Amino acid sequence: MFSQKLNQAILDKNSRLCVGLDPRLNLIPSSILNKSIQQFGKTNQAAATAIFIFNKQVIDAVLPHAACVKLQSAFYEQFGSEGVKAFWNTAEYAKKLNLPVIADIKRGDIDSTATAYAEAYLGGGDLFGEKQTTPIDSITINPFLGEDSLEPFVKIAHETNKGLFILVKTSNPGSKDLQDLEINGQTVSQRIATYLSKQNTKLDEFGYGLIGAVVGATYPEHAKQLRQQMPTSIFLVPGIGAQGGDPTLLKNFFDKNGLGAVVNSSRGVVFSFEENDKRYLKKIAQAAQDTKELINKNL
């Protein structure tokens, strides 16, 4: 099951780092870009080709230091169906290297539409009578439409043994607008946490289940309370680096054994090099190692 696979990766590599593969076309090394443009012109196909080549290099470079990778879907959808193909190819490449893959899609919908999304990313769907599988291990989900909108995702996660990270408290300042609203002494985030804490009906040998939570690194006090409220949920923690999450408070997100969370870094690792630096892969590997160690120092 996903949680077991992720927890094992954390222990094997002694890393709680999730590397965010959020390709920014203008930051990809020009050596890669120029070749793609030569081959395909200034098209989505050229963009998607450059992204996939760069992603493979990044994955190879961070492999010893990353517990998992996270693909932000928006940066692939930007380049049409060709971009989406690069998304799936990248997920397949990571899977082959046994690196857990989180698809950051933040989908949320109802009934058969929610089922379609869950099957699209986690698998279990039917294609002309054949059960489908995917290279993705876990997805992020938006709970705004309510509990009945989450149920199809939870059901398919359990059927496929794959994971969900439900948005509970996001890393941006605006997360206060809805998520911090308090009703009868309980915030919206805490309400979602209450729902979520009941969904892990199946636990791995580390005591974690398939239904996890997104909790921003920028809110360590929220994390402390949410960690207690959801003892069986792995936290996906965005918001260190550019967004200003304080690494010295990361211990609030982990359990006493240093498990229970992965901390995402995207730009801080993947675009840690200067333009035209030919040694960019060394820089990326070094940034991944540094971030891994920074997290480990603060458990």
Give catalytic residue positions.
106
Q: Please tell me the distance from the alpha carbon of residue 85 to that of residue 87, in angstroms, as a whole number.
A: 5
Asked whether the beta carbons of 191 and 239 are under 8 A apart, the reply is: no
**Is 143 a binder of its own copies (CB under 8 A)?**
yes
Q: How far is the CB of 119 from its own copies (least distance, A)?
A: 6
Question: Residue 32 or residue 281: which is nearer to its own copies going by CB?
Answer: 32
Q: Enter the DSSP assignment of 240.
A: B
Distance separating the N- and C-terminal Cα atoms of the chain:
25
Give me the least distance between CB of 218 and its own copies, in Å please. Answer: 11
Give me the residues paired with residue 164 across strands.
139, 211
Given candidates 5, 9, 22, 137, which one binds its own copies under the rule CB under 8 A? 22
- At residue 82, φ and ψ (nearest 5 deg) are -65, -40
Q: Pattern 87-126, binding to its own copies, x per CB under 8 A?
A: xx-----------------xxxxxx-xx-xx-xxx---xx
DSSP codes joined into one string, 81-116 = HHHHHHHHHHHHHHHHTT--EEEEEEE---HHHHHH
Q: Which neighbouring-strand residues pair with 103?
A: 71, 139
181 lies in the site for its own copies, by CB under 8 A: yes
Rounded distance, CA 132 to CA 257, Å?
36
Stretch binding its own copies (CB under 8 A), from 77-85, 92-100, 269-277, 282-290 = 77-85
- Give whichever of 96 and 279 is closer to its own copies, judged by the CB atom: 96
What is the binding site for its own copies (CB under 8 A)?
A: 22, 25-26, 37, 42-44, 46-47, 72, 74-75, 77-82, 84-85, 87-88, 106-111, 113-114, 116-117, 119-121, 125-130, 142-149, 167, 170-179, 181-183, 188, 191-192
